[in-house]
Structure 1
Amino acid sequence: MIYFPTEEEARERKASAEAAGASVQEESDGRIDINTADAAQLVTIPGIGETRAAAILAYREKNGPFAKVEDIMQVSGIKSTLFEKMKDYITIR
């Protein structure tokens, strides 16, 4: 079963990451840039835990930046159902 945090839980994760000294890369509308975010920032996205955050970072390291947000579905464990839940929280610059 996949756990999707509520918006409130995602905000709490973000606040925790900021309190731990992470500078959260966001657009002015609050979305996370998936090309520049670190693991602490990625886990603030609904449906992304530590394992998926690590997979995103590994994918970026191997393949370079994402060209469009839909490309995140190329990361192992991120398919259309999860993408639909997270797409409003992510962006690329």
Structure 2
Amino acid sequence: MNLEDGRFYRTRDNRVAGPMARRLGRTFRWEGAIDGTEGSHNWTDGDHYLPSGAHHIWDLADVAHKAANKAIDQMTLADYRRGVARLRGTL
């Protein structure tokens, strides 16, 4: 997966990470926040949280699709679960 500036991604444990910012000249070339944690976190170009490439629950697994700017009749159940239900704590 190619990481992009300003995009959000899902970690292996299904948290949202981002927005991503490219940091040149470092082992960890990408920086972003993770839901439920404090501070910023870093990833390699290979989507890995650990520089060794060993599996970690915060490795980036997929692009996080947001339901922003979708009409309510265009939202899917997955959009609802990621958005409204999460905010209300109904999941």
TM-score tier (shorter): under 0.3
Q: TM-score, normalised by structure 1?
A: 0.27
Q: Which has the higher strand share?
A: 2
Higher RCO (CA-CA < 8 Å; seq separation 6+): 1
Q: Which has the higher helix share?
A: 1
